[in-house]
Every structure is written in C-alpha cells, then in structure tokens.
A and B are shown apart, each in its own frame.
Chain A
Amino acid sequence: MNFSEEQIERYSRQIVLEEIGGIGQEKLLKSKVTIIGCGGLGSPVAYYLTAAGIGHIKLIDFDKVDLSNLHRQILHFTDDVNKEKTKSAYEKLHKLNPDVNIEIVKEILLPENIKEILKGSDFVIDGSDNIPTKMLINDACVNLKIPFTIAGVVRFNGQVITVIPNKKTACYRCVFGDITEHEPSMSCSQAGIIGLIPGIVGCIQANEAIKSILGIGDLIINRMLFLDLLKYRFSFIKIERNENCVSCGDKSLDLVETLDYRIGDACFE
C-alpha cells in the first residue's frame, strides 16, 4: 500500500510503534469495525477508532441526543440535542478523519436484522445500554464467528470482556447464562453514572479492536475486567468457557433464530 503524504503524517505516531508500523497501519485502514450504540461507550470507541484510521466504521443507533446524555456521550454537543445520534456522530467523526468510510445505520438491532448488519465486520463493539441487546450481539457474533467485545458501565463501575469465537474463548453467556433467568437490571437513568466511566471503558474496547485486528498483545479473553473508580480497584476475574453454554457450547443452536430477546421491552422502557 502506498500511503499519501497526509496519511504518513496523520498516522506517524502509530507507524513509529514497533507493534504497528506501516504494515499494521495498512491492516487498520483495510479493516471494518461495527460499533453498536453512539452513546457513552460508542462515542469514545468511534472517536479513537476513526482517529486511528480504521478504514470502515459502521455505527448503529436509533436514538436521538438528549440533554442528559451530554455528560458522558462525548460525540454529541449541546446544539445536537434532538438530532439523531448517528448523524451527530457522523458530523464529528468525518471532520476528525475524512480518510475513514463512516457508514450509519438508524435501526434498532433485532434478531431479524442483526446478522445482515454485522456480516463482514472484522470486529464488533457493543456499546448498547441493555442486557438483551448484549446477549443478541453475543449470540450473533458467536454464530458469525466475528471477534467482539461487550462492556457494561454504571455508577463508578465498568466491566469488559472480549470473545474470539474462532478460538472458542468464553462468551458473555458463559458468564451470565440465560437471559430469561434474569430480571431486567437497573439502567443508567435510575442507578446514575459518572460521565467518565464509559470514556475509560470505551477506550479499552477500542484498544481491544485494534489489538485483535493487528494480532498484538493480550486480549481480555477467558477473563473479565472489572473497574471500580471509587476505590480504584482494577481486577480480572478468570472465566472458563462452558461446554454446555447455550450460545457457544459444543451442541449449541443458533439462538438468534430461535430466542425471544425482548429487545422492545429493554429499548423503550
């Protein structure tokens, strides 16, 4: 690949890195990452991946910007209130790096459309705000064999896990099991959230995407990272793949085709 002078300058600090170089930068420019949600997690993820020169970024969100989003969703500004989040995100990201092909999808992720939307991605990032969507992303990516990372943030806490289906690493369901066993958990609006926690966790997710695409370093696989910013506790919990997992287990079915995820309940509560 022949970089333009502008690309060499723009990505120079990454090219300098021993782990990236021109070869790694070319891989990033040729890769495609799908980000689900342009909110607290999706904002920093999309910002840094656009800046890093991921060649094709697909952003999924159906929601509009609310004033109460702005303390944590850093892609959106005060005059974006009531604007579609994908449009608001696109405007900033395109200005940040016109080199990147930013595709926006204004849809709710459902069992009916998820595979078509995620197909062809090199990495998928969950920045959704509800468990049913996280489970759906998990099951679809496991089925499509696309590497992905799922995160959750609330109050001063965060958690992150990455799954590499081709390497049969533990999946989100190996940790949390069958969604139908759980009551819907408290959302950010009820529990509260410090604005910077999705910033930190989103940056970790972006790092996972870059490292997975380049095949460098250690990913958060077969373990889960927990962050507590009140007490500054950062800890890994070891996770083992469940051979009988309903999603990634040896005899698992394609859940996306069979399960009722109750996404509607979660998205419009």
Chain B
Amino acid sequence: MRALNELNEESNSSDQKLDILGKVCPMTFVYTKLALEKMNSGEVLEVILDFPAAVKNVPDNCQRQNIGELLDIKVIENGKKKWVLTIKKI
C-alpha cells in the first residue's frame, strides 16, 4: 500500500490503479485483465508490480488479446525493485 501512495503522489493521470505486488505470472496478467475488463475504452490503468517477468508478459498478453496497450514503464528502485506499467484499455 505504501508503494501505491508513493505512486499516487507521483502521478494522477490514470483512471485506475492496481497493486499486484507479490503476485507472480500468470496471476499478474489475470488481475490486470480483470481490471481492464471493468474499464471503458481509452481509460488508463496503472499497475504496480514486482515480478520481473511480468514487465514483459503483462503488456505482451494485453496486446495479444487486444485489451490493453502499453503506454509507459517506470522503475522504482528504492528497496525491492518495482515497476509501474501504464496501460490504456483498448
């Protein structure tokens, strides 16, 4: 949750935020997909995660299933490495 608060301070441009720290593949994609399914086309989802393989897998699967488009990846280096994926609902 602390990471999510940091994230909120950094950026407020997303419509939804999803904290899946500690989740591994394929659950990272499952949670991202479920979040995207509830959103409207064009809305933006920010996903914070710490499973390295998911940084590639989640956007790849979103693209392949035509549900989300990767806009940005941010790395958070303080403590355990985390990533923030910005994904637009297609």
Interface set of A (CB-CB < 8 Å, partner B):
3, 8-9, 12-13, 15-16, 18, 21-23
Contact = CB atoms under 8 A, between A and B. Distances in A.
B27 A22 contact: no
A46 to B, nearest CB: 26
Contacts of A23: 37
A247 to B, nearest CB: 40
Contacts of A18: 64-65
A12 B33 CA distance: 11
A13 B33 CA distance: 12
B83 to A, nearest CB: 20
Contacts of B34: 3, 8, 15, 21-22
A12 B27 contact: yes
Contacts, number: 28
7 contacts: A12-B26, A12-B30, A16-B26, A16-B29, A21-B34, A22-B34, A23-B37
Interface residues of B, number: 11
B31 interface: yes
A9 B27 contact: yes
Nearest to B35: A22
Interface of B is mostly: helix
A21 B31 contact: no
Interface of B: 26-27, 29-31, 33-34, 37, 61, 64-65
Nearest to A18: B65
Q: Is the interface of A mostly helix, strand, loop or mixed?
A: helix
Contact of A21 (B26, B27, B33, B64): B33
A118 B34 CA distance: 33
Contacts of B26: 12-13, 16
A8 B30 CA distance: 8
Nearest to A13: B26
Given A21-B37, A22-B34, 12 more contacts: A8-B27, A12-B26, A13-B26, A15-B30, A15-B33, A15-B34, A16-B30, A16-B61, A21-B33, A21-B34, A22-B37, A23-B37
B51 to A, nearest CB: 15
B33 A16 contact: yes
A23 to B, nearest CB: 6
Contacts of B37: 21-23
A187 to B, nearest CB: 45
